[in-house]
Amino acid sequence: MASFDIPTIDVSPFFKSEENEEGKKKAMEQIKEACVNYGFFQIVNHGIPSDLLSRTIDMYKTFFACSDEEKLSVPDNYLKSTPNSADTFEHLWFRFPFSGFNNCRSIAPHFKKVLEEMVSHFTKLGVVLEGIISECLGLPPDFLSNYRNDRSRDSLMGLHYFPATEDDNTGKPAHEDPGCFTILYQDEIGGLQVHKDDQWISIAPSKNKLVVNIGDVIQAFIIPLLVIDFTFTIIPKF
For residue 3, tell me if it sits in a domain: no
Q: What is the CA radius of gyration of the chain?
A: 18
Q: Give the three-class secondary structure for 66.
A: coil
Angle at 155 between CA 121 and CA 185, to 5 degrees: 60
Q: Quick one: CA dihedral 168, 169, 174, 178, positive or negative?
A: positive
pLDDT tens-digit readout, 184-223: 888 887 778 887 878 888 888 888 999 998 887 777 665 5
For residue 1, tell me if it sits in a domain: no
For residue 108, tell me if it sits in a domain: yes
- 151 Cβ contact list (under 8 Å, min separation 6): 96, 123
d(CA 151, CA 96): 8
Q: What share of the chain is helix, strand, coil (3-state, %, to 5)?
A: 35, 25, 40
Amino acid letter, residue 33:
E
pLDDT tens for the chain, 238 residues long, are 444 578 999 999 998 877 889 999 999 999 988 888 888 899 999 999 999 999 888 888 888 888 888 887 775 677 777 766 666 778 777 766 655 555 566 666 677 788 888 888 988 898 899 999 888 888 888 888 776 666 666 667 776 666 666 565 556 667 677 778 888 888 887 778 887 878 888 888 888 999 998 887 777 665 555 444 444 443 333 2
For the chain, percent of residues with pLDDT exceeding 70: 70
Domain that holds residue 182: 8-234
Q: Are 207 and 50 in contact (CB under 8 A)?
A: yes
User: The domain that contains 22 carries what CATH number?
Assistant: 2.60.120.330
* pLDDT of 178: 72
| 158 DSSP β-pair partners | 92
* pLDDT of 170: 57
For residue 111, tell me if it sits in a domain: yes
Q: What's the predicted TM-score (pTM) here?
A: 0.79
For residue 121, tell me if it sits in a domain: yes
The total number of structural domains that make up the chain: 1
For residue 2, tell me if it sits in a domain: no
Q: Are 221 and 31 in contact (CB under 8 A)?
A: no
